[in-house]
Chains A and B, each alone.
Chain A
């Protein structure tokens, strides 16, 4: 554990400082709300990163879990008057249960089945949210969802609440990545057959990753519902699932930090595109759809490992060069990448 903290301690310290300072230094509420949305997305993408980077599976319906979490918490607070702190737990449990049922059948299988099943599940969930009008309010949605009383309902309070949860999720996932479980996961990612022969219950591990990602998405969805105060089924479709996917892929799916960096990056690109859309008149379509599609294609073609592992590799190369110049011994394994290489020859 201590060694682990040593490994990513510096990065974590930078993260903490940035996170705490952000709402204090940004000029207006708009940036604070962008920060909150980034936090909400980050919880989802860290979960998705566990599924993709660790278990080597793909979920194309993460927005559905997000939406189910949002509706669960919203319905329980508005219709039954429960406290948001209670309903958030339920909001994590319900999508996790869905993920469990879906994953239990699919996770042991190989190939394209989970992609197919999650894609289909994403559609079913969104249709369900639209059609189950008595509970979800249908296409027109729900209004006056209570806010979470945290440091007096302010935007800044919400920011720290959400980023506090992001931090917990981040720490949990980083630890998971470096624990025995994480090594087992990475072994599965490299070769399922080899992993199985080493006594790893591949099926159970994949299922756990998937269920965990569902729970993370659910918590984030619940927070989203209480933050927005209104809900409709529109943001919980395929478009959002692809956006989550893009965030993980651009940052690098083998790295939890990559998911976080990717989330920040894609959100800023999104904001930039919205501005651009206002500048260019006669723009008819979705600028962001085309950009996300292009990012996915280009990353797979030219930088399949993603941004963070690529930058790390460049840094390591530079360090190795420096060390070689001084005739010093080779640098110790400092990163996930390096440890991984050592662990799995």
Chain B
């Protein structure tokens, strides 16, 4: 029983990270109908920038803030000069474009930082906390807290603010939004900025728990993508639940079956779910209309 709870606790921590990535995916997707396969690289860049900035003797907090800012800027530049440039491209081209961007970032990171793995100091001490036989790293609690704050912030932003309403308007009907004086291109840029910032933050908080290196983004990105699809692409609540489910399933798989098979189990579940219920577990019927 303790064992099971332990696995679930581990799963919740990684699931939280997937949730941030997945919400980043759908934030962009809803507004611009672009699946940004480079989303995972935002996490990698966030972690690596922080390590690099701490390496030049900046205080932890400053390094984190600068890293988030840098990744947000990169995301904005991406939207403004690359994604917006090909705005009439087919979904197929957009997949190729964003997978190309992801590859480019990964290659660039490997050039700049090499292929070594870097460790980032945890926010508080390394000593794990133990509750009812379940041990969890302090950083794990930080991750969960961050995830909670980010998700609540996004929910507040989308539901309660004017900006959120504008973004939603563009997601529902860009033409009508434009007639109301909202600039869809600008909203798309803001969506990219939000995804970049939250992605970078996720990359930073997870870096102390695992190590960070030039290639951590790919797998995190794909897991997040998987959660976004399982949740029905565009349904934030479903996406978050799906992300936690993926985290828990792979943690259970790693514990009870084989740790080497961890990632395979998560993906097998994904494919199985797609086979049984193509629109995702919480799917809306209109999903997947990515124009393809």
Contacts and interface: CB of A to CB of B under 8 A. Distances in A.
A109 B285 CA distance: 12
Nearest to B102: A293
Say whether chain A's binding surface is mostly helix, strand, loop, or mixed: helix
Nearest to A116: B229
Contact of B288 (A112, A120, A249): A112
A123 B107 contact: no
B288 A124 contact: no
Interface size bucket, B side? Answer: 35 or more
Contacts of B291: 111
A304 B110 contact: no
A284 B114 contact: yes
A283 B111 contact: yes
A112 B229 contact: yes
Given A116-B225, A116-B229, A296 B287 contact: no
Interface stretch (A125-133, A221-229, A258-266): A125-133
A316 B100 CA distance: 30
Contacts of B271: 102, 105, 117, 120-121, 124
Contacts of A297: 82, 97, 100-101, 104
A124 B260 CA distance: 11
A120 B267 contact: yes
Given A124-B268, A293-B101, A304-B93, A109 B278 contact: yes
A57 B271 CA distance: 17
A284 B116 CA distance: 9
A58 interface: yes
Interface stretch (B3-11, B54-62, B84-92, B172-180): B84-92
Interface string B261-289: 10110011011001100100000000111
A113 B277 CA distance: 12
A82 interface: no
A238 B102 CA distance: 12
Contact of B222 (A123, A242, A291): A123
Contacts of A292: 100, 103, 107
B263 A127 contact: yes
B111 A284 contact: yes
Contacts of A121: 267, 271
Interface in B97-132: 97, 99-115
Contact of B108 (A105, A113, A290): A290
A60 B98 CA distance: 12
A304 B291 CA distance: 17
Contacts of B239: none
B275 A105 contact: yes
A18 interface: no
Contacts of A284: 110-111, 113-115
B162 interface: no
Nearest to A241: B99
Interface of A: 52, 56-58, 60, 102, 105-106, 109-113, 115-117, 119-121, 123-124, 127-128, 130-131, 238, 242, 245, 249, 283-297, 299-301, 304
